Amino acid sequence: MFIFRHGSGRAAQLTPRSIAGIKRTYASRIDLPFTPPPVPVVESCPVPTCQCRDMPEGLDIEREHNINGSMAAYAEQVLVSTGRKDWKSKIEDEDEGMLVKQLKGFLGPKGKYSDPYHNVMLTNSSFSPSDCPPTQNETPREATSTDRSVPIARPGSNEPPQIADLTAPASAFLLPSFQYVPTVPTDSSGVESFIKAFLKPSQLHQSHDRLTRAEKNMLQRQPEMQRRFVGARKVDEILVLICGHGGRDVRCGTLGPILQHEFEEKLHRQNVALLQNAPVAEAVELNTDAEGYTPTARVGLISHIGGHKWAGNVIVYIPPSFSTNALAGKGIWYGRVTPADVEGIVSKTILDGKVIKQLFRGGIDQNREILRL
């Protein structure tokens, strides 16, 4: 063994005798204060008390690694209502994917409103979109070489195919803002207005302090523009989102629909009313202070959110109006969810407000703080 002494280029050899003469010192023990978890926690999912659906065989689920912290950080999730249960691998390639494509163009790494400290996650859902008022663009017309439309033929009809306008408005949930926007324009200027009104950060990251006022204004939200979006309202229902993106990976594509039916059944058993139709444009005033109040719920399939190897992947958003729930205003991500876990998630997380540590991937609150255990 050799050591180099400061101020000299000579190496001194340590003999056994010299080593014996070295006084050993040890680091003192430091007692760190106990930091409680940011949310109530139970260690594992309880054993189901009633029959549940079988877990499909042959799914290659990774079960060795700790999945706590495996959720990608984000500031807002745009949940587009498509009325469909599966999509192409890249959801922006869908014929109806104009909103996602436009948003990616503006918010992506080279986009006009790109902000590395405010990540917006774009996701399709099986929820039905709200009925949008007809516009001039929806009138059937002859296609041109520059038309961003696709022909759709009616089954069993010899009539020429109608032209489906890809700039028709869309509907979207915004989470954890817990807002619903029934009519989102999908043309370029309309999408820009949507981004300015709802998707930019309300408060910029401190790293932006060096920017000019004009540059800051480019990145900061303009909430007064929300008035342009008629029917936009707060979300008062529980949202259970299950990755069922079979066009991306067979594991979630197989397990997602099974978990959807399981959640619907177990929520119904707990007398939680399930919403099936598209949201109404205006929210109904709820008496959330009433004793025993439990919100209604929506259960839907969504596109890829990362981590197919941990299927089933489930996000549970608890609305702020469910004030007696300790998880109100938060989104909780679970992985490796099986049908046998659904009853426990409904009872422990959705109704009792406790995170199941065994399944926990991460979470987010309304302040955009990422939850870790």
Q: Note the pLDDT tens digit of each residue in 124-134.
A: 999 999 975 43
pLDDT at residue 107 greater than cutoff 90: yes
In angstroms, the CA 356 to CA 354 distance is: 7
pLDDT band at 266, cuts 50/70/90?
very high
pLDDT of 24: 54
Residue with token string 């549970």: 316
pLDDT of 293: 82
Instruction: List the single range of 74-88, 91-105, 138-152, 177-191 with lowest mean pLDDT.
Output: 138-152
In angstroms, the CA 145 to CA 303 distance is: 31
Residue pLDDT, tens place only, 159-206 = 444 444 556 899 999 999 999 999 999 999 999 999 999 999 999 999
Helix locations, 21-149, DSSP H: 98-107
pLDDT at residue 120 greater than cutoff 60: yes
Of 339, 296, 294, 351, nearest to 314 (Cα)? 339
pLDDT band at 281, cuts 50/70/90?
low
pLDDT at residue 157 greater than cutoff 90: no
Compute the half-sphere exposure of residue 256: CA atoms within 13 Å on the CB side of its CA: 28
Residue 63 burial (CB count, 10 A): 8
pLDDT at residue 145 greater than cutoff 90: no
Q: Which of 266-280, 282-296, 326-340 has the highest mean pLDDT?
A: 326-340
Rg (Cα) of the chain, in Å, rounded? 26
pLDDT at residue 5 greater than cutoff 50: no
Residue 46, CA distances (Å) to 68, 258, 339, 359, 361 in order:
19, 19, 12, 12, 18
Of 330, 303, 184, nearest to 247 (Cα)? 303
